[in-house]
Amino acid sequence: MSSTQEIVKCSFNPDDMGQLLYKEIYHKWIKVQELIAKDPILQNNVGDYGQSRDKLYEIYCKKAYKLHKLLNYSDEMIPGMVNSQFPETVVTVLHQTMFIPTIKYLGTEKQIEKWLPPSLNYEIVGCYAQTELGHGSDVQNLETTAVYDKNTEEFILNSPTISSTKWWIGDLGLTATHAVTHAQLFINGKHYGVQTFIVQVRDTHTHLPLKGIEVGDVGPKYGYNTKDNGYLRMNNVRIPREQMLMRYSKVSKAGEFIKAQNEKIGYATMMQVRTSIIFNTYISLAQGLAIGVRYSHFRRQFKDKNGIERPIIDYQTQQDKLIPLVADCYAQGFGCQRIKEILTENLKRINEKNDFSLMGDLHALLCCCKAVYTWNTHFGLDKIRQSLGGHGFLQSSGVCTIQTEFSPSCTYEGENTVLLLQTGRYLLKACNKAQKNQPINENVEYLHNLQSTLSQKATFTRQEQLLCPEIIRKLMRLHAAFYVNKMMLKMMEKAGEFGPKEAWNKHVGVSITEASIAHTYYWTFKTFLDTLIKIQDENIRSVLSNLCCLYGLQRIIDWPIGYFEGRFLTGEQLEIILNAKEYIFTLIKPDLLGLVDAFKFNENALRSDLVDPKPYEKLLQSAKLSSVNNEEYQKKLRSLTRQLREIPKL
């Protein structure tokens, strides 16, 4: 049976599932892919594999120019859609995802009026210069300085140490003309913390660095090499007072500093970016699965008793590699939808009512989901690559390039462990509030009546009971409560012995990250279940219910120790869970192709020889097109190999 026939036979309509996954951007998602696939400059070309870094940068500059002409980049969803279409990152993506949003969120109306039009028209290209050689996650200890000179109404920016060099700044190395720059503000010798400035780094006509600016590319990297991550040093660079972004914090002409009502507003851009990263965890994993699942239905190995080779997806071991990741992908997709809703509500409250009440809850949620989802996608993509056998190691398989481009997500815009610690701090505060019967956010409602909660146990005795998501939700709720309580008790013990700061830094870190991960798993499962309840289509609800259950069961199987340490589960119940997981595989397998078809990637976006109707022929064709196989290179090679053979023998 062909893949197309299996999609037609699945129990639901993949187009309807796609609309559930992408909601209001569904039609735009498909249209953007079609536009890119049809354009000779934008469409993916196997000949680009193996090109030098400088050549790839030129290719992607041309793509960026064409995309700017064809698409409306004032739509904040466009950059995320576009980036997933190519095996390398598009030049200027940080201009769209960080520079422009920072101006929108932190600029005054007058500043937005000045800077936004030239940014949208690409008269200037910006970047986001926060990270330094010496400090990344520790933003409060950045070393770049901005000293206000009230006589000239200017800020003087300097990089006073080697470690204050701005570093890893995307779009800065070769492309940007301007940088949103974070620096420690000083007025009359008094320190006012990190503030945000717009600094021009290159001339907009000659593209040469301006006076006092030293700028360049950081060099070759593990991957992500079309992205010109750069460095920046400043020596007495003067900018007008109006180039400090002043929607919230302000400096008057006379040098009076007016503090923002809520200092966390500086995280507004980062919140938008982390939401985009979370969306990309879903998209990248979905791409890898679309390739892995389709190829697993085509690829045949080993004959059955009738002498017919079996598709490798028929083997339980292959199902175990891929089907749980499909559940993860859907869970992360629905998690991202909910996060976008909260982000939108947060920005609305801030803009309309100056209400910052959601900031802390959203920040904690973004931190833990960014960390857990990026790790899961990174390691999931490697599992998919391995599931393809040797072919997965080829760039033309598509999966290894997706993984390489995705891998920086685990460290950029917040190193994952540090982010989990930030969520842990939020959980500790929520736990203390709950103990005092103070109100807490619904995301952490399980912290009320902790001791009563932790006295509960799983009561299921049969496999079929685990096809009910609510039973699994209660189990995962216990798990989250257990790890947060464990963290709190250890923090109290070690703080009493060493003091709070040393306890946090040296003795409780692992417990904090465990609590944050357990919280993330529970929140994600609960969000999946909340989505499920609202679905009207019975066929879609049925298959998603199975995926939801599998997502939860896989979390228990992968991390059972807390369930046993808390005495919530018995060994016999874990055996039932293992059997239930294998049974769910049999329920999901007939719908597997439909589930990945619902991701709605066309063949150009997947850029994989393995999803071609004739993958073996396509692999051979791509090999023949490799630059080392052309006649010109072969002539040069023959000369080199002849010299090698002529080496005198010992």
Q: Catalytic amino acids?
A: 413
CB 310 within 8 A of CB 296: no
Q: Residue 460 has which token pair?
A: 């299921």
8-state DSSP, 649: P
Q: Is 91 helix (H, G, I), strand (E, B) or coil?
A: coil
Instruction: List 149's β-bridge partners, or say none.
Output: 154
Pairing of strands 178-187, 145-149: parallel
CB 531 within 8 A of CB 23: no
The alpha carbon of residue 546 and the mean position of all alpha carbons in its chain are separated, in whole angstroms, by 25
8-state DSSP, 499: -
Longest CA–CA separation in the chain, Å: 91
CB 103 within 8 A of CB 96: no
Separation of alpha carbons 414 and 403, rounded Å: 19
Residue type, 93: V
Question: Which residues, 6+ apart, have CB-to-CB distance to 50 below 8 Å?
Answer: 395, 626, 627, 628
Question: Which residues, 6+ apart, have CB-to-CB distance to 203 below 8 Å?
Answer: 177, 209, 210
Beta-carbon count within 10 A of 648 CB: 4
Separation of alpha carbons 88 and 66, rounded Å: 16
Q: Long-range contacts of range 256-262, CB-CB < 8 Å, 24 or more positions apart?
A: 257/185, 257/187, 257/192, 259/192, 261/354, 261/356, 262/356, 262/359
Place of tokens 């939401």: 275
Separation of alpha carbons 21 and 568, rounded Å: 34
Separation of alpha carbons 8 and 31, rounded Å: 23
- Residue 307 host element (H or E): none
